[in-house]
Amino acid sequence: MSKSDQSVLRQFSIMIGGLAVLTVVLIFAALAIHEHEPQETNPNQAAATTARIAPAGAVYAGNTGRAAMQAAADAATKAAASQVAYGGTTDGKAIFDHLCTSCHTSGVAGAPKVGDKAMWSPRIAQGIDTLVKHAIEGYHGPDGNFMPAKGGNPALTDEQVTNAVHWIADQAK
């Protein structure tokens, strides 16, 4: 072997040895970093993430794809409907019993008490549409009374709020 071949072989060996040492150093650095990362606290998080992105991450083609897309849309609609307050009931009394009763039976924040004709008659005189608007959007009265939007429960639909307002107003007539 010539001196130039030996020199190339020596340099190549040194380079391979250096790369091997660098590889080992990087492996130990990766292990050290991995040990200091916070561990996942919720074991169901990966499954929840997969379920959440499944409709957007799926590939649909042809009639089978259209059927799968419709099924996914129906499932999403059903899931959204299940998020409506109080199971979607539109019974004004039931909504009152679940939410409104806390303020409108004790008069918290200037709320007129249910059945108190003296407090309700000027409000009812403004019109039921005004009462509904105040209940949906919220209201700050000039005398300091306060009505949070949708009674503080944004999951209520406008129809649910309207029915509750009608029920409460009927109690003061």
- pLDDT per residue as tens, the chain (173 positions): 899 999 999 999 999 999 999 999 999 999 999 888 877 677 788 788 887 777 666 666 777 777 877 887 788 767 665 667 777 788 888 888 888 888 888 888 888 889 888 888 888 899 999 889 888 898 888 877 888 888 888 888 888 889 999 999 898 87
What does the pLDDT read at residue 15?
97
Please say whether the dihedral angle defined by the alpha carbons of residues 103, 106, 109 and 113, taken in this order, is positive or negative. positive
Output the pLDDT for position 27: 97
**Cβ-based neighbours of 47, under 8 Å, separated by 6 or more:** none
CA-based Rg of the chain, rounded to a whole angstrom? 33
Place of tokens 């007129």: 112
Query: What is the Cα–Cα distance from 163 to 51, expressed in whole angstroms?
Result: 35
What six digits make up the tokens of 18? 């250096």
Residues 60 and 55: their CA atoms lie apart, in Å, by 10
Whether 150 contacts 135, CB under 8 Å: yes
Q: Against a cut of 0.85, is the pTM above it?
A: no
